[in-house]
Structure 1
Amino acid sequence: MSRPVLEIAVQDLAGFCVAADAGAVRVELCAALAATGGLTPSAGLLAALVAERDARAATGATPPGVHVLVRPRPGSFVYDADELDVQVRDVRAAVDAGADGVVVGVLTADGHVDTAALTALVEAAAGRDVTFHRAVDAVEDPFAELDALATAGVTRVLSSGGADRSIDGVRRLAAMVEHTAGAVQVMAGGGVRPVDIGALVAAGVDAVHLSAGRPVTDDGGPGGGGTAGYTVTDPAVVADAVAALARVQPTDA
């Protein structure tokens, strides 16, 4: 088993730079993370991150891979044909823009992975990594769904083990790792704090995912969401996560 890696969910170029400077292996690029759990980011934002990634690589550095969340709206992960069409277009656009991978999640109304929709999204990804996000935490039997993800060609699954916070779902995460036996990578995510990383790695996960967010109070007025503000990537939290990951070893190391 290789050493687990760190993925940071980011919403802007500054967040990517924080993750890159800290040595994260991947970023998940999204929008409206705190308010919605994440939505598809803009084309301009993706272009900016890809340009920064490529500029860093040109210097001989190994910047994080850019993985794009494709989620057209908040709410459930059950989508109609028009919403799926938009997601397929967004996946293709992300690939054409230079993304290293995409992050998707599609379910049927009765709580299973929507294999037909997922197949269309994997095909649109054209060989790039596909991560199935925490939609898996909304299914009744995640172990059966892991098999469906493997068959569809999904690279990894992001899960909290069915809990609000991944540390509370760590036993299920360990069981998911055992069940899939490497056919699908299992990445722990959901309310992750640096202090949780040791226990999550002990469960055998391939990666740990966190947003490392810090709230910023900013009044947008009646037309801009009032005083809801927004979140930014906190360099101190990312540094703590990197240090925590460095202190632990894989379970069979």
Structure 2
Amino acid sequence: MGLTLLEIAVQDVAGATASASLGADRLELCAALAVTGGITPSAGLLDAVLAAVPGHVGVHVLVRPRAGSFVYAADELDVQVRDVRAAVAAGAAGVVVGALDDAGSVDREAVARLVAAADGREVTFHRALDTVPVLEPALDHLAALGVVRVLTSGGAARSIDGLDRLAATVAHAAGRLQVMAGGGVRPADVGALVGVGVDAVHLSASRHVDGSGGPGGGTGGYTTTDPDVVAQAVEALGRPRR
């Protein structure tokens, strides 16, 4: 088994630089993670993160226009294609996408358009995979479409509770797709996830910051990267803390 990589989902420049400095191999850049599960970040944030992190740390941009279902209207898909092209033009190492049809299966036409827009950059299919009715054909379709990896919790709310399906995903992917475990991952879970053969683990490694934005600004505070959690995840993978 090769080296298991660490990906951290980040929402700001501080989180990106901290994760990179502590040993993250890859970043998923997104916005509004706690509230929506993640949506497309701004162009300005992407530019700032790319300028701030070293080139060996791949920045992969989540392209998701809204919260809710992964079934998209034609105009929503058009926006995603444009966002993928913009991320690639800005210098992102890859994009993270997902689209399903009305039956809940992989929307092959949509994914094909998104892969084409990525123009050779790595494409990750996100946790929309956890909702498909049958796993194996979904993996076959994604591999055939040129997707590089899948992000999955094994169909559970937390990856640690989806170990059996994660193992089945690794077995069926058979090297055609990288399998990255993500979904409620804590540093204490990393060893078990590595044990089922995943290629990478994915954490938000976040902490909540209290504070109201005042009238019109919301009342729930926000989340940002917790460097201590990133460092614990690095250690859990058997690497020295930086």
| TM-score, length of structure 2 as denominator length | 0.97
1:77 alignment counterpart: 70
Where 1:246 maps in the other structure, the secondary structure is coil
1:188 alignment counterpart: 181
What is the alpha-carbon root mean square deviation over aligned residues? 0.9
Q: Is structure 2 residue 209 aligned with structure 1 residue 231?
A: no
1:198 alignment counterpart: 191
Of 232, 235, 238, 1:243 maps to 235
Of 197, 208, 219, 2:201 maps to 208
How far apart are the structure 1 equivalents of 2:26 and 2:45?
16
| Runs of 4+ residues deviating >3 angstroms | none
Whichever residue aligns with residue 237 of structure 2, its letter is L
How far apart are the structure 1 equivalents of 2:42 and 2:11?
10
1:250 alignment counterpart: none
1:169 alignment counterpart: 162
1:110 alignment counterpart: 103
How far apart are the structure 2 equivalents of 1:29 and 1:130?
14
Q: Deviations over 1:120-144 (max 9, x none)?
A: 0000000000000000001111121
Of 200, 208, 222, 2:215 maps to 222
2:48 alignment counterpart: 48
Of 79, 84, 96, 1:86 maps to 79
How far apart are the structure 1 equivalents of 2:131 and 2:209?
30
Report deviation, 1:2.
Answer: 1.1
How far apart are the structure 2 equivalents of 1:77 and 1:113?
10
Where 1:130 maps in the other structure, the secondary structure is strand
Report deviation, 1:218.
Answer: 1.0
Report deviation, 1:3.
Answer: 1.0
Report deviation, 1:196.
Answer: 0.3
1:38 alignment counterpart: 38
1:251 alignment counterpart: none
How far apart are the structure 2 equivalents of 1:11 and 1:47?
13
How far apart are the structure 1 equivalents of 2:16 and 2:161?
28
How far apart are the structure 2 equivalents of 1:18 and 1:170?
29
Where 2:67 maps in the other structure, the secondary structure is coil
Q: Percent identity?
A: 67
| TM-score, length of structure 1 as denominator length | 0.93
Report deviation, 1:109.
Answer: 1.0
2:151 alignment counterpart: 158
Matched residues, number: 239
